[in-house]
Amino acid sequence: MNEIRYVWQWPVRICHWLNVLSMIMLAITGFFIGRPFMTAPDTSMYIMGWMRMLHFSFAYLFTVSVVARIIWMFIGNEYSSWKAFFPWLTKDGRVAFVQMLRYYTFTGKKLPYAVGHNPVAATAYFGIFILFIFQIVSGFAIYGQYAPGGFWDGILGGLNVLVGNQWLRLLHHGVMWLLVGFVINHIYSGWLMDVKERNGTMSGIFSGYRFIKSKDL
Partner 1 sequence: MKTDLDIVSPPIPEEILQRVEAKGINRRDFIKFCTATTAALALPVSFIPTVAQAVEDKRPPVIWVEYQSCSGDSEAFLRANQPTAGEIILDLLSIEYAEVLMAAAGHQAEEAKHQAMEKYKGQYILIVEGSIPTGAGGGYCTIGGHSAVDDCKKLVQNAAATICVGSCSSFGGIPAAAPNPTSAVSVSSLVPGAAIVNLPGCPVNADNLTATIVHFLTFGKLPAVDRLGRPKFAYGKRIHDNCERRGHFDAGQYAEAFGDVAHRQGHCLYKLGCKGPETFHNCPTIRYNEGTSWPVMAGHGCIGCAEPGFWDTMSPFYRRLPKVPGFGIEDTADKIGIGLAAATAVAFGIHGVASCFRKGGSMEEDKTGKEAN
One-letter amino acid identity for 211? Answer: F
The residue from 45, 64, 75, 155 that contacts partner 1 (CB under 8 A) is 45
- Closest Cα partner for 116 from 197, 196, 185? 197
Residues 6+ apart with CB under 8 A from 119: 87, 88, 93, 96, 97, 100, 112
> Could you tell me which stretch among 52-60, 88-96, 113-121, 205-213 binds ligand HEM (CB under 6 A)?
52-60
Using rule CB under 8 A, residue 5 touches partner 1: no
User: 98: which strand partners?
Assistant: none
Contacted by 27, from ligand HEM, partner 1, none: CB < 5 to 8 Å by type: ligand HEM
Q: Distance between CA 177 and CA 187 in Å, rounded?
A: 16
Within residues 159-198, the interface with ligand HEM by CB under 6 A covers: 169, 172-173, 176, 179
Using rule CB under 8 A, residue 127 touches partner 1: no
Within residues 91-110, the interface with partner 1 by CB under 8 A covers: 103-104, 106, 109-110
Task: Please enumerate, as own/partner, the contacts of 49-56 that have beta carbons within 8 Å and a separation of 24 or more.
Answer: 54/25, 54/29, 55/25, 55/26, 55/29, 55/30, 56/143
> Could you tell me which stretch among 100-108, 113-121, 137-145, 198-206 binds ligand HEM (CB under 6 A)?
137-145
The residue from 36, 64, 90, 206 that contacts partner 1 (CB under 8 A) is 36
Q: Distance between CA 87 and CA 113 in Å, rounded?
A: 13
Residues engaged in binding partner 1 (CB under 8 A): 31, 34-36, 38-40, 42-49, 103-104, 106, 109-111, 145-146, 148-149, 157-158, 161, 164-167, 169-170, 173-174, 176-178, 180-181, 184-185, 188, 191-192, 195-198, 213
